[in-house]
Structure 1
Amino acid sequence: MGGFISPFGNNTTNTNNNNDVQNGERQNQSHHHHLFKKATTIQTLTTTQEDNNNSKKKQQHRYWRCLFAKRKATAVKRKTLKFEDGALRVDVETNDSVLYNEKGEKKAKGKPGTIVEGTECSLQQYEIEIDNEIEEKEFASGMAFANIDVGVLEKDDKEDVDDATTKKKRKTTTAFSNTKTFMAANNTKRVVTANMLKPVYSIDAPNACVLYDGQKPNTIGPIPLVLDPSIARFLRPHQKRGVKFMLESCLNITSETRSGCLLSHDVGLGKTLQVIALIWTMLRQSPRPSYDVHRDIRCSITKAIIAVPATLVGNWKNEFKKWLDLKIEIEAIDGSNTSDAAKKQLLKEWALENQKRRLVLVCSYETLRANAHLLENKAQLLVCDEAHRLKAKDGSKTLDGLKKLNCKMRVLLSGTAVQNNLAEFYSLMDFANPGVLNDYQTFRKVYQLPAERANDTKATEEEKMIGKARAKAIFEKTAIFIDRCAKSDVHIDGLPPKTEYCLFLSLTEAQQKSYKAVCDQVIMKRVDNPLVACGVLQKVCNGIGMLSSSSSSSSNELQLAIQEANKVTTTTDPLETSVKLRVLKKIVDLSQKMNDRVVVVSGWTSTLDIIEKALSSTSPGLRFTRLDGTTPSHKRTQLVTTFNNGHGGSVFLLSRKAGGVGLNLIGANRLVLFDCDWNPANDLQATARIHRDGQMKNTFIYRLLSAFTLEEKIFQRQCQKGALARSMGFACVENATNNKDDDDEDNDPKTFSSDELRKLFKFEYARKTAMKEPCEMAKVESCQSWMNDCRFSGTLNDDVLKQMDEEASGNEDVRFYAKLS
């Protein structure tokens, strides 16, 4: 009965000996083999034990999950202390320990003594209760504090479930394939024929796009789903993958408990067509046989709702007509030329149970928000275009309205899912799959703050390590719900390349005086609202003429800027007081000579007014098309179509907020970002208007930035946010006022600390230009890879900029030409 006792608690040899006694003949026949096996087992286990011991010797730190609370000054009972989750890192050799909170921040360090599970100890001013030991990766990734439940069993857990239910599964694996009858919805038995289990389109056809192969007959259904060949033949590989991804998410193939997803393809990669293919497939096909007793009618959904910005309602309607003209009819409501009563009536009619003609509703977010109660439980699928606008983590009227629809399947579309911070990403994922990232407070502490801190220039190496691990954990755990695709990953036949330049410009004397006056007032704390001052400074950079036309002319900061400008110049010519306007005019004039057309983007409608007036006065024959917040929704599609057809003039004036998303402006191949936005996604969306499928010319993007001003700091912050987006695998930027214009309601300056705000208003233009410095970003270490003057590096490959530089002849309007891509 003696034998080798395994260090893992299993008496392996005893078990073998018992089997040998029961099988005498086998014992005699395999005696030598048994002895060899026994010796091998002992050797293997001994070797394993030695390896484990060596591994422990090499391990530098051990980690323990714990609860900790700060000791109060007065003597109180331990149970009254407020404990919170944390982790204790213990040096194996020296016993030096560091206490961390959920964010990965150091709270205390010292030598608490022997650490054993279930014990209590103290470290500096903290009382600690030791829980269980954890792996280092569990602490770094944050999974020790907040696990992300995606509704998919891990491999080991799945094997346990499979073993426990093997017999049950054997009885049901052929439920559909062998069953001849099943119960219909009205409790009537219906015979299932072989034809009813055939897909609508053949899976064996050449180039068939199979979205579901029918290999999960019990949970999903036995019928394969194949994309309509009339659409499939136009889809590129990344689009077929996107349609398959969305369908698998909606039908619970990806996750057993969650039916939402995020299609995060770069702008211009055809997300609209992918959604049309998805909806058409789900309306006409199902993995399960029809439950209709009289007809073989299959459908995975009965109705679908598409929520879009008002500007894009017409575009979606046209796309459905283009791809499914005679196959489907949709209801499109933008609300611009329809009364509230009429909209409600249209929605009520669409929601009727017996209304089977228009199965798809395309509606603006504003209309859905106001009338969500009319559409509750009327559709199974909700698609949200430009979903990054659903970023209110604490709830908003739009989000609340969409939740009232109670659509189980939710598909979000966004080329820029991560814009400012991870709170916006949380909002998107929590709406698509409620609860997948825990509650927001937990997510913020464990994941958001450490990940964002890692991109800070002052972050320590340990903070960078923890932050990157937390961002990676979010990326890996939510990957099954997100399909990412960048333009750089896709080869679009016939799409010409895009080149982006950043032009760092000088300031006129009047601009310098005005800018410095406002900065001085802020530094001396004579300004009530520094955020208003930020908006004023941005307009000073655009040009002195923009100040007098501003709707916020009553502000003290603006009045001061105007007064200082008037001391230097009395001219009313906007070209004399705006370097940006002069550069823009040159770009437009040279583009016309080359038969190219230009899109000009600004965040202020008042700036667009000045641009239109200045260019018209110097070029009387120049024709414009303009789209801003005042343009009625029902006219916007026609304006875009006319311009793309070559009948809308040479210049398209576009408001960033009103037309920066979804529009297709391939009639132009040059785009000027006249000013920049705190949110990098807004600029990224705007630049994508011209570089899209269907563009026939090489495209050029020009960012106009005033050197040594707030605009450079805004662009630096965009690059910092871009690093956060890249850490999550999303698209990003490569390489402040409260007025009635089209500003971002979520202006970023309000997130600055007082110290950061002071740095924003530090103005050293005169000193740095005297030292011949071209711009501030030229000395920023993180920008060195692309901050090279194209004129001297030989990368100025744009005929417009080349000619503009040649004609400058000593004029320093443009101080630095940087090529971003």
Structure 2
Amino acid sequence: TENKTLSGRNQSPTLTRGDLQTPQHRASGAAGSDSACSKDGVRYFSVVWCKASKKKHKRWEGDAVLITRGRSVSLKDMEGKDIGKGSGYKVSQLASLSEGEMLMIGGKEVEVMGVISAEDFAKGRCFQDIQTDQAESATKPAPPLGSASKPFFPPTTLGRAGRPEPKPEEEQTCRPRHNPLAPGALVMPRPSSNHQWLHNKAALPVVDVVVDTHLTTHLRPHQREGLLFLYECVMGMRAVGRYGAILADEMGLGKTLQSVSLAWTLLKQGPYGGKPVVRRVLVVTPGSLVQNWKAEFTKWLGRERISVFTVDQEHRVEQFVSSPLHNVLVISYEML
């Protein structure tokens, strides 16, 4: 069955993710000024980028933040450094920019993944977590030297050890990772009240699980249905206590893409508080297809987004277990 799955992967559908917008613009080292640009008109987007090419399947090189202002745009990497700028775009073109659309910035091609609020951008939430933590710690005033006094806590906030209980994570912002109202969004079914009673003991808020728009643009209708089926089965939503599924589509119908989409969704999202359902994924396949599976993950998600570890004579399972960099393990039946 696994052999059949991969032998049909070249028969992927020819779907467009929106017209590629290639305005006549000037790419330069400094942002071009525009009199029509105003502070109120600034918009922020989370995007993925790659070098401009005419290939149907792009090899995305990383995540970035796109800033539009009037007729000008700038692109920042996840460390906040400028990696591209351009001007001369149509105001209407940038004003209507939304998820799934593509844009050329100099020699780079970007795809919009979602909208970032001005507040999130100002606080640096859209950049790497480590950078946000450093920025927040830098803004906190240092405690006065020699201060030995303990802060007062009301009795109702004290835990068993006499310390204030940490704020539950559900009080933090729990929002879907992707916009469930975006055109073409694939939203997974919400858990039933019985499922919540069994699996949500911490009473976390229920959050929509939305498949990454980078993947849904490639899914055909039957693949979308198949992904919904897999998700419900694996999450135990179809039968109590049952957490497995068999995807028995015929060869060439795209079972591999559905499997990759399911794995990526569970690694990044979950219905309860937005917490990921799984931390690692195991793929067991015939030995001749181990490298093919790694290539499929890279093809659909890119090297920057996911790290796949393959087991062979030189790479052992123990290396995967001790490595925090990999979250997908591909192994053959013989090596298992």
**TM-score category of the 2 structures, normalised to the smaller one:** 0.3 to 0.5
User: With structure 1 as the length reference, what TM-score do the two structures score?
Assistant: 0.19
User: With structure 2 as the length reference, what TM-score do the two structures score?
Assistant: 0.46
Q: Larger % of helix: which?
A: 1
Higher Cα radius of gyration? 1
Larger RCO of the pair (alpha carbons < 8 Å, separation 6+): 2
